[in-house]
Amino acid sequence: MLVPPLSVIRQKLSNPRLAILFGCLFLVSQLVIVYITIPLGSDKLLQLQTTFSVATFQEILAEWRAYDILYLYYQHYYLDLFLHPLFYSVFLGTVLALSMDFAKIEAKYNFVLFFPFVAGMCDVLENGMHLLLLANAEFINAFTVGLSACFANSKWLLCGVCIVLVVYFSLIRAIWKS
């Protein structure tokens, strides 16, 4: 199968209806995930995702086991394993493409449209690693924890870059209009 040129991808993603649809799906899934994971503590959840420390990773899991809430971490994967990354990747991709069109950004910068989807892939890989580590404690080591942290930190970095680009492109257009 041939991959369409980036200009075609940008054209397909520059769809306000698609942005609204996936924005709503992302929002609903995010709210459900937050609802499920509130007892885990957002600080601990973020720390578990981004830590390179085996000791920290194991301490957080042990704390959740002690409070009998580890099952909530498993439950959030019903959405977060594949669907949530898909929802936010398409949403970020559409908003990014729309903001690029809005600001009349040259086609040579279309490569940034890959960022949301690479972030989503990193999220799926991180989630898969965490499920593996939860089910097989003997696999928790410096390599596996570090690898999952690399995926998580890359995801957060790329999502942040996408948001900054959307704001930047929107500001460019607003400045040009004035």
Q: What is the pLDDT of residues 143-173, one digit of tens each?
A: 999 999 999 999 999 999 999 999 999 998 7
Is 1 a domain residue? no
pLDDT at position 15, please? 98
Q: 39 is in which domain, residue-wise? A: 6-177
Query: At residue 90, what is the residue type?
Result: V
Rounded alpha-carbon distances, angstroms, from residue 81 to 63, 123, 130: 23, 8, 10
Does residue 92 lie in a domain region? yes
- Say what angle helices 83-102 and 115-135 make with each other, to 10 degrees: 160
In this structure, are residues 51 and 149 in contact, taking their beta carbons and an 8 Å threshold? yes
Q: If DSSP codes are grouped into helix, strand and coil, which group holds residue 69?
A: coil
Residue 105, helix vs strand vs coil: coil
What is the distance between the alpha carbons of residues 80 and 45, in angstroms, rounded to a whole number? 13
Compute CA distances 60 → 128, 139, 151, whole Å: 18, 16, 19
Query: How many domains is the chain built from?
Result: 1
Q: Is residue 144 part of a domain?
A: yes
Q: Tell me, yes or no, whether 158 lies in a domain.
A: yes
Binned at pLDDT 50, 70 and 90, residue 2 comes out as low
Residue 105 maps to a domain: yes
The per-type count for the chain, helices as H runs and strands as E runs, is: 9, 0
Q: What is the pLDDT of residues 115-144, one digit of tens each?
A: 999 999 999 999 999 999 999 999 999 999
Q: What is the pLDDT of residues 51-76, one digit of tens each?
A: 999 999 999 999 999 999 999 999 99
Domain assignment present for 165: yes
Query: What whole-number distance in Å separates Cα of residue 51 and Cα of residue 113?
Result: 28
Is residue 88 exposed (0-12), middle (13-18) or buried (19+ Cβ within 10 Å)? Answer: buried
Q: Kindly state whether residue 172 falls inside one of the protein's structural domains.
A: yes
**What is the pTM (predicted TM-score) of this model?**
0.93
What pLDDT score was predicted for residue 178?
Answer: 64
